[in-house]
Amino acid sequence: MDKLRKIFSLDSLIVPLVAILLGLLVGAVVMLLGGYNPLVAYSALIQRVVGNPYDFGETIRQITPLIFTGLAVAFAFRSGMFNIGADGQVLIGMTTATSVSLLMTGVSSNIVVPLAVIAGGIAGGLWAAIAGYLKAKRGINEVITTIMLNWTALYLSNYVIRHFFLMKGQNRSEDIGASAAMTFLGGIFNNARVHWGTVIALLAAVFFYVYLWKTKQGYEMRAVGFNANAADYAGMNVGRNVVKAMFISGVFAGLAGTFEVLGVFHYQSVFAASPGYGFDGIAVALLGMNHPFGVVLAGSLYGVLTYGSAGMSFAAGVPPELIKIIIGSIIFFIAAQGIVRFVLKPFYLKRKKEKVL
């Protein structure tokens, strides 16, 4: 209980909250310079998100893959690696889930959907484990290999869909009938594409925390992340932990793709370029300061801003690209915590004086 209080203490929350406020302030200044009213724009953003049940449900849908990919990047980072390849792992998970579902057409969805979810997660994990193995056995930097694997995953996924599952006359796969079982609460959210992946994403964040901070294996992974040489000297198998960490990271990303195709679209498109889920996950992990519960909050913020940007565009005429400026500003202030602490310094000094008195 004391550790939970420490995680959610005022001091641990105040810096990211002030960073968010400063980012929104920067966005407001940019809007004023562009001739837009920031109050109208931000009001339109909020209205877009919570104005009706459908949009609120779609916002939840937008948040879900961001949590998964944010967890993927954060887990690897906590283990001493930088997983740039979450986008490729998303695609591999997506393609595997699509393949399993379409190959089992006619089988009960109660069997197909769990198998597709498990297969998609494992496939994403194995794809990430390739980079982990190359680092553990050959010392090849995972940044390079994961970037290259992103392109390999893109072309491999497109090849599989085009040659085995393409719908005639369409640039996408056939419909996945069994995936209809993934949606829920449609009546509450006016048929918004809310799916069970959201629940799994929250459970994944809990698993992340328990595994890394409550188990021996997690302790070893964090030790390798802090100092691989010291971990090796202490008798820990560094190579095995590197591969295992990348595998678990890839499972999170693979589930993001799995639930997107099963819970949202119910088919897989042939992509002209990388979908970008993994790169958004990097921003979410940074915003969440690589903590699983921070990632959930950061993914929620990112999803709200992304989905709400359409409201800013329609109601206030603000270009949706401005949201990227706001998110970038928030990340900047999160990274440059010295600036935030400088802004907060007078308040801390005042609080210390009050305690002394």
Per-residue confidence (pLDDT) for residue 7, from 0 to 100: 46
Per-residue confidence (pLDDT) for residue 211, from 0 to 100: 96
C-beta of residue 73 within 8 angstroms of C-beta of residue 285? yes
Per-residue confidence (pLDDT) for residue 42, from 0 to 100: 87
> Residue 266 region, left (φ>0) first, then alpha (ψ -120 to 50), else beta?
left
Of 109, 81, 84, 114, which Cα lies nearest the Cα of 97? 114
Helix (H, G, I), strand (E, B) or coil at 236: coil
Domain limits, the chain = 61-288
Give residue for tokens 């209980």: 1
Give residue for tokens 């699509």: 98
pTM for the model: 0.89
Per-run averaged pLDDT (10 residues), the chain, 357 residues: 48 73 88 86 88 90 96 95 94 96 89 94 97 93 94 96 92 86 74 90 97 93 90 90 96 96 92 87 89 93 88 78 80 74 64 54
Per-residue confidence (pLDDT) for residue 293, from 0 to 100: 93
Handedness of CA 76, 71, 9, 333 (dihedral sign): positive
Per-residue confidence (pLDDT) for residue 77, from 0 to 100: 95
Q: What is the dihedral of CA 28, 283, 214, 125, to 10 degrees?
A: 150
Give residue for tokens 């595997």: 96
